């Protein structure tokens, strides 16, 4: 297993790890021998209309079935007291966090004419505020690692509008938060980077229609949609020793969509 020894027994905490991109990242780190902690609002994987239609195992079950180590911790990342309890549980068992993947995110469809202020706040709370809150609460545990890595999941929509008035601003905020954290935490040998996925085959795409998916696919230079493993491979790079001098940066993983 390539790079297995590098990640063996590393403590990897992934928010939103039950489904979609988070599940893909978790499965990859589980395969590489890390202790994978799945923090999510529900343990069962979401089943989508177009993608992930036939998942029968939880993320932790899948990792354990393949010989890895994982456990699920129920956590609503929009609630500070649940984040505090999450960090306390990790501290009690492991005393450190080596790799923090801030992946939890939501999308509520609707324009400014349709989306309520409460819905805007909810998207911001999960997509941006929770990254700040969990990173702040986890900081001492990350400092306890000799290997601190923080990986934030943003989006190609960080560079453009679309998907409503909350989603794109929340994701552009993730990029600037990533840069600011990198400046502050570099002296602790902690790197902070972001990944900007394009269309990834996950249940978050349920708002689309088959026609809109086909139309979008036709615009991509690489003629396939993204898979969670594509983001997992980018996360593996940012978590590896190969990226030890990369911080405050981002990687677009979108099949060439932004280049078009």
Per-residue model confidence as pLDDT tens digits over 50-75: 887 889 999 999 999 999 999 999 99
Closest-CA residue to 223 (of 201, 198, 259, 256): 256
CA distance 96 to 190: 13
Cα atoms found within 13 Å of the Cα of residue 227, Cβ hemisphere only: 9
Q: Which two tokens mark 186?
A: 């570099």
pLDDT at 204 over 80: no
State mean pLDDT over 194-204. 91
Top pLDDT among 45 and 36 is at: 36
Residue 47 has a pLDDT of: 86
Residue 1: band (very low, low, confident or very high) from pLDDT cuts 50, 70, 90: very low
**Burial label, 161 (beta-carbon count in 10 A; 0-12, 13-18, 19+):** exposed
Residue found by looking up tokens 């980077």 in the block? 193
For the chain, how are helix, strand and coil distributed in percent, rounded to 5?
50, 15, 35
Question: From the CB of residue 243, how many other CB atoms can be counted at a distance below 10 Å?
Answer: 17
160 Cβ contact list (under 8 Å, min separation 6):
168
Give CATH for domain 4-253. 3.40.50.720
Closest-CA residue to 104 (of 40, 155, 167): 40
32 Cβ contact list (under 8 Å, min separation 6):
1, 3, 4, 6, 7, 8, 236
pLDDT at 132 over 80: yes
Q: Which two tokens mark 239?
A: 């978590």
CA distance 77 to 123: 11
Q: Where are the domains of the chain?
A: 4-253
What average pLDDT does the chain have? 95
Closest-CA residue to 237 (of 151, 143, 135, 139): 151
* Residues labelled as active-site residues: 167
Residue 208 has a pLDDT of: 82
Strand partners, 14: 38, 101
pLDDT at 2 over 60: no
pLDDT at 116 over 80: yes
Residue 20: band (very low, low, confident or very high) from pLDDT cuts 50, 70, 90: very high
């Amino acid at each position: 297993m390539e790079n297995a020894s590098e990640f063996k027994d590393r403590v990897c905490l992934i928010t939103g790890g039950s489904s979609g991109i988070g599940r893909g990242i978790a499965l990859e780190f589980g395969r590489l021998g890390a202790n994978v902690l799945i923090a999510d609002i529900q343990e069962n994987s979401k089943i989508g209309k177009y993608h992930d239609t036939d998942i029968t195992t939880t993320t932790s079950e899948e990792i354990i079935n393949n010989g890895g180590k994982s456990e699920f911790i129920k956590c609503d990342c929009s609630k500070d007291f649940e984040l505090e309890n999450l960090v306390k549980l990790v501290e009690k068992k492991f005393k450190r966090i080596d790799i923090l993947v801030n992946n939890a995110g939501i999308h509520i469809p609707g324009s400014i004419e349709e989306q309520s202020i409460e819905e805007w706040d909810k998207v911001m709370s999960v997509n941006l505020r929770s990254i700040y809150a969990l990173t702040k609460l986890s900081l001492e545990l990350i400092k306890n690692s000799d290997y601190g890595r923080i990986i934030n999941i943003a989006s190609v929509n960080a560079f453009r509008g679309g998907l409503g008035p909350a989603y794109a601003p929340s994701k552009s905020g993730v990029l600037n938060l990533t840069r600011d954290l990198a400046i502050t935490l570099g002296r602790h040998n902690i790197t902070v980077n972001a990944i900007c996925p394009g269309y990834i085959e996950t249940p978050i795409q349920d708002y689309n229609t088959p026609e809109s998916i086909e139309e979008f696919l036709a615009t991509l230079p690489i003629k396939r949609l993204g898979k969670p493993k594509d983001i997992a491979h980018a996360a593996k790079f940012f978590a590896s020793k190969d990226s030890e001098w990369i911080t405050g940066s981002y990687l677009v993983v979108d099949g060439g969509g932004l280049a078009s």
